[in-house]
Amino acid sequence: MQGVLGCRGCAAEFRIKDGVPVLVGGNVDRLKTETAARFAEEWTRWTDLRPYYEKQFLGWVAPFTREDFVGQVVFEGGCGKGRHAELVARFGAKDIVSVDLGASVFVAFENTRHLPNAHIVLGDLTLPPVKPVFDLAFSVGVLHHMPRPEIGASSMAAVVRDGGRVVYWVYGLENNEWITRFVDPLRRSITSKIPYRALRALSAVPAALMWAAIKLVYRPGPDGKGPARLPYGQYLSSMRGFPFDELELIVFDQLVTPVAYYLPKAEVERWFAGPGFEDVQVRWHNQMSWTATARVRREAAAPGGAREGVTGPEAAAGPEAAAAPEIPGPGRSPAASRTDRDPGLVGDA
Ligand SMILES: C[S@@+](CC[C@H](N)C(=O)[O-])C[C@H]1O[C@@H](n2cnc3c(N)ncnc32)[C@H](O)[C@@H]1O
């Protein structure tokens, strides 16, 4: 399915490639492109949608429930293979527009093409050429892979209407300090650079250890909760029904990316510190990650256009040039540029 998507208002035109509008120009930062290309390796291999994704998703976005999506116009930043786009469309969203910067969008398109309310777009979530028309914007497992997570957070809020809501799930620093100390150096120097096949083979080893621990030790109790006395008790026991290759995917996902920040709670709270947000909640998920929810108040926020380093619902967005798109896909990773690292954060890039 090819074609052109035109904007009646500004006459901009965007190519449609294999069913997916390409809303990205040649001006995307190379580190973001490299990250998306590495993740495309993941999502173009583990392409299928699995029954346990719904429970997992509702865990990540809680206290939101499936009812919160019904009848809503939803924006998703970083959709990967479209597993959450498919769910939200099935929950009864009026429409969901899901953006990703990598070639995983073509998998997402295939996974959602039967759903008329699901729309997959290739683009950078910090530069969606749209007005603040969305009722709800969510992002699961994405912002911590951006060179500037706070820009990702404010860009998502920038597409939400007054009174609409955002929900973001990100890696937490608390309880994960050992990852930043021991795993991250290996990820940065080795695993984010090695070929896909080698990384998949390598991922099988920690996945096998996890598998054994989950099967032998991490049994949920009668209340469905994991053993509180063991590290990652709730998290690991929640994976008891997963097939082995899902554990491989989880390990691969941790190791494949050039950028991963583990964010302290205070940092996530800072994203919502301005007057443009209310009802802010930052919840510790499985004692290892953060789910942040907030309501967007546009009239309270400062007016303005796209600005790096500004936090709030007005901090980003605006059309970007549609020229010379480069689709980050497997085997198409440009070399990383590491110039825009935020030295204040723990993790990467
Ligand atoms: C760990 S995956 C999570 C995908 C999906 N949310 C899920 O949970 O299945 C992170 C995704 O974010 C995408 N991503 C990273 N930076 C992005 C950006 N600036 N704009 C759009 N997508 C981005 C990557 O391409 C990748 O598919």
Q: Report the SS3 class of residue 253.
A: helix
Count the neighbouring beta carbons within 10 Å of the beta carbon of residue 264.
15
DSSP string, 220-236: --TTS---TTSTTHHHH
Could you tell me if the CB of 78 is within 6 A of ligand 1?
A: yes
Residue 77 CA to ligand 1 center (angstroms) comes to: 7
Looking at ligand 1, which atom is closest to the CA of residue 257? 1
All CATH 3.40.50.150 domain ranges of the chain, comma separated, are: 3-173+262-296
Output the pLDDT for position 313: 52
Residue 329 CA to ligand 1 center (angstroms) comes to: 12
Cα(316)–Cα(132) distance, integer angstroms: 11
Output the pLDDT for position 25: 73
Residue 217 CA to ligand 1 center (angstroms) comes to: 32
Q: Report the SS3 class of residue 205.
A: helix
Q: State phi, psi for 170 to the nearest 5 degrees.
A: -135, 160
* Paired tokens of 86: 């498919």
Could you tell me if the CB of 136 is within 6 A of ligand 1?
A: no
**Cβ–Cβ < 8 Å for 175, 263:** no
Q: Report the SS3 class of residue 285.
A: strand
Could you tell me if the CB of 234 is within 6 A of ligand 1?
A: no
Could you tell me if the CB of 268 is within 6 A of ligand 1?
A: no
* CATH code that applies to domain 3-173+262-296: 3.40.50.150
Could you tell me if the CB of 155 is within 6 A of ligand 1?
A: no
Cα(148)–Cα(307) distance, integer angstroms: 12
Output the pLDDT for position 310: 39
**Nearest protein CA to atom 10 of ligand 1, as residue:** 142
Alpha helices in the chain (DSSP H): 30-43, 53-61, 83-91, 104-112, 149-157, 177-178, 184-186, 196-216, 233-237, 244-256, 265-270
Residue 334 vs residues 29, 34, 150, 244: alpha-carbon distances, Å: 10, 6, 24, 31
Q: Report the SS3 class of residue 120.
A: strand
Residue 142 CA to ligand 1 center (angstroms) comes to: 5
Cα(263)–Cα(59) distance, integer angstroms: 19
**Cβ–Cβ < 8 Å for 280, 292:** yes
> Strands 289-296, 134-140: parallel, antiparallel or unpaired by DSSP?
unpaired
Could you tell me if the CB of 102 is within 6 A of ligand 1?
A: yes
Label residue 145 exposed, middle or buried (CB < 10 Å: 0-12, 13-18, 19+). buried
Cα(308)–Cα(250) distance, integer angstroms: 31
Give the mutation target among 24, 27, 120, 145 for probing the ligand 1 site: most ligand atoms within 8 A of CB.
145
Which residues of the chain fall short of a pLDDT of 50? 303-312, 314-326, 330-349
**Nearest protein CA to atom 12 of ligand 1, as residue:** 78
Residue 318 CA to ligand 1 center (angstroms) comes to: 20
Q: Report the SS3 class of residue 170.
A: strand
Residue 227 CA to ligand 1 center (angstroms) comes to: 31
Q: How does 66-98 read in b/e, with b if 16+ C-beta sit within 10 Å? A: bebbeebbbbbbbbbbbbbbbbbbebebebbbb
Could you tell me if the CB of 36 is within 6 A of ligand 1?
A: yes
Alpha helices in 92-148 (DSSP H): 104-112
HSE, side-chain direction, 13 A CA sphere, residue 45: 19
Beta partners for 166? 137, 294
For tokens 């608390």, what's the residue? 174
Residue 32 CA to ligand 1 center (angstroms) comes to: 10
User: Tens digit of pLDDT for each residue in 13-55?
Assistant: 899 999 999 998 777 889 999 999 999 999 999 999 999 999 9
Helix (H) or strand (E) holding 289: strand 289-296
**Nearest protein CA to atom 19 of ligand 1, as residue:** 124
| Dihedral of the alpha carbons of 151, 98, 243, 54, in degrees to the nearest 10 | 100
* Paired tokens of 167: 């929900």
Output the pLDDT for position 328: 54
**Nearest protein CA to atom 23 of ligand 1, as residue:** 78
Could you tell me if the CB of 349 is within 6 A of ligand 1?
A: no
